[in-house]
Structures are given as C-alpha cells and as structure tokens.
Structure 1
Amino acid sequence: MNVHRILRAVESLDRVDGPAAAVARTVRGLLEGRKVDGLLRGSWLGHPVHPVLVTVPIGMWSGALLLDLMRGQRDASRRLVGIGLLAALPTVVTGYADFSALQDVRQRRVGAVHAVSNAVAIDCFLTSYVLRTRGSDRAATLWGLLDMGAVGAGGALGGHLSYAQGGGVFRWQAGPEADAAVQAGA
C-alpha cells in the first residue's frame, strides 16, 4: 500500500466538490472583510494558526491513550480527552477559515476529506469521553484506538494539503493581498 498514492487519490474525489464549495462560500461570506478573518487565518502570526492549534488536541488525546495503558490513571485520562475536545473547537474554527480561502479545487477536495476525518475523530473522542464518565474504561480505550486512527488519517491529509499541495503556504509572507496571486500560481 502506497500512502502517497492514496493521498493523491483524494485530490480526484470530485463528488465532494459541490458540498466543499458550498461550505467554503458560506464561511468565506461570514469572514470576508472582517478583522476576525485575519485573526483566524494567522495574519498576526505570519502563517496559518490552524497547524499550531492542532497540536493541543492531538497531544491531549495521545496522552490519554498512553494513560489508558497505565493503572490508576482513569481520571487523568478522562480529563485529557475532555481538554482535547475543548481545544478542538478553536482548531476546527481556524481550519474552516483556512479552508474557505482555498481556491484550488484539488486542495479543497483534500481539505474537505481532512475535515470529515477530523469530525469523525472528534465524534469518537466525544463517545470515548461519555464512556469514561460512565466508568466504561475498557470500551473507552478501544474507542481511543479508533479515534487515533481517524486523527492519523486527518493529520496525513492535512500534511498532504500543506506540504505536498502547498495549501496556505506563504500566504501571509507578502501580506493578505498576496493571497490571490499565490493561489493563482503567480
């Protein structure tokens, strides 16, 4: 199995074009011309903020899974899953802000599948959190393993979008006005 080939295949999933374009238009319509747009997309940082925020939920959820393997760490593990869920909220918001600025249809396809994969991961972690609060530790740990699979798939797609496709790369280097030129390949 060639992972790169699988990631490249996502670029051809034209079935997501309609819904992806609709989501991008809606989010862009909400953000366009507002200061919050630059804030969410990282103009103040000099690069997108979404990749920075991603580290918090992934770190929390990875830590929870490790604590699941240790005896007597049930409460700490549950807390980490909860913190990861809370941290996922601004991460998702900044991701949608970045997604809404993508002009390349192949990038938008990968971004859409990335978002769906991460939505599955968040739903699974929410299920895991509920199971943990009910004392179903073993089931929660199994969900945690599934969750990390979805997080890994989402991360691989996000990495492909950024590193292989250049989505959002160098967007703020010359200022927000350079967005269109960079997306157009100038």
Structure 2
Amino acid sequence: MDMHALLQKPESLDTLDATADLTAGAIDTVLGDGALAQGLRGSWLGHPTHPLLITLPIGAWLSSAVLDLVFKDRDAARQLIAIGLAATPPAVLVGLAEFPTLGRRQRRVGLLHAAGNTVAAAAFLMAYRKYKRGKIGAARAFSVLGLTAVSVGGALGGHLSYAQGAGVHRWQLIG
C-alpha cells in the first residue's frame, strides 16, 4: 500500500472547500492577524507551535495504554488520559490559529486532520469516564478507538506539515 498516495487523496476533495473557507473565515474573524494570532502561530519561536504541543496528548494517551495493558495500572492510565485531555485545548487552539494561513489543498487535509483528532479526544474522554466507573473493557475499547483516530489524524497532520509544507519557512531569518 502506498501511504503517500493514500495521504494525498484528501488534497483533491473539493467538497470540503466551503466548510474549510467558512472555518478559516471564522477563525480569522476571531483571531485576525495581530500579535495574538502571530504568537499562537509561533512567530516568537520561528516555526509553528502546533507540532510541539501535540506531543503531550499523544504521548500521554499512548502511555496510558501501556500502563493499563502491560503494567495493569488502571489509575495511572486514567490519570494519563486526563493529562492528555487537559493538554488538548492548547494544541487545538494553536492548530486552529494556523488554519487561515493554509492553502486550499492544505485546508482540505487540515479539516480531516482536525476531524480525526476530535474523534480521538472524544474517545479518550469516554475512556476516562469508563475507567472512573470501573468499566475496564469499555475503557480499553474507547482507548483503542482513540489511538486509532489519533493515528489517522496524526498521519494527516504529518502529511500537512512534511509533504505539504504547512508553516515551513514562514519566519525564516535572513542575514
């Protein structure tokens, strides 16, 4: 299976354009292009902040599965899911700040990236609730769904960043 070709497919989904344009317009209306938007996008760092911030939820959620399945520590697994959920809003915020700056084909991929990660966050919220109620089988099922969704969302995010170059060289220093 050619993963690159598979990840390129969303780039041609012009049916997403109306939603992408509406989303970009709404974000641009709220954030604009001032200091707040630039700061969220990573101007102070020299590159986008979103790829940095997503490592915490992904790492916490993956680690929670290891702690549950390998070490049978369900309390720690639940706590790591909570950490991942708490780290999600900042990652989403900086990702949304990037959205209006994307090109048309990038926005198509970006919408699907966001959708996959929304499913992941919802699944992990359900897993957290199931762990809290002692329903381990259901918690594991939601965790597997969450890991699957975040893997798809992450693959699309990686394609957006590395194959499509979203945010690359935006603040490259000259001199």
- TM-score bracket for the superposition, by shorter chain length: over 0.9
Partner Cα distance (2:47, 2:58) in 1: 20
The percentage of counterpart residues that share the same residue type is 49
Question: What is the aligned partner in structure 1 of residue 152 from structure 2?
Answer: 153
Offset of residue 34 of structure 1? 2.7
Deviations 1:31-86 (A, max 9, x none): 11432111110011110000000100000000001011135411100000001001
TM-score normalised by structure 2 residue count = 0.95
Partner Cα distance (1:106, 1:71) in 2: 43
Deviations 1:67-119 (A, max 9, x none): 111354111000000010010010000000011211x2111100111011111
* Cα pair distance change 1:77/1:158, threshold 3 Å: same
Partner Cα distance (1:31, 1:142) in 2: 37
Partner Cα distance (1:97, 1:61) in 2: 24
Question: What is the aligned partner in structure 1 of residue 110 from structure 2?
Answer: 111
TM-score normalised by structure 1 residue count = 0.90
Question: What is the aligned partner in structure 1 of residue 170 from structure 2?
Answer: 171
Question: What is the aligned partner in structure 2 of residue 20 from structure 1?
Answer: 20
Partner Cα distance (2:127, 2:72) in 1: 17
Coordinate RMSD, CA, aligned:
1.3
Deviations 1:17-44 (A, max 9, x none): 1011101111012111432111110011
Aligned counterparts, 1:37-52, within 5 A:
37-52=37-52
- Verify the 8 A CA contact 1:54 1:88 in the aligned structure 2: yes
Structure 2 gap ranges (5+): none
Offset of residue 5 of structure 1? 1.3
Partner Cα distance (2:84, 2:9) in 1: 30
Number of aligned residues: 174
Letter in 1 for 2:78: R
Question: What is the aligned partner in structure 2 of residue 182 from structure 1?
Answer: none
Partner Cα distance (1:71, 1:139) in 2: 18
Question: What is the aligned partner in structure 1 of residue 30 from structure 2?
Answer: 30
Question: What is the aligned partner in structure 1 of residue 56 from structure 2?
Answer: 56
Structure 1 gap ranges (5+): 176-186
SS of match in other structure, 2:168: coil
Letter in 2 for 1:22: L
Question: What is the aligned partner in structure 2 of residue 70 from structure 1?
Answer: 70
Runs of 4+ in 1 over 4 A off after TM superposition: none
SS of match in other structure, 2:165: coil
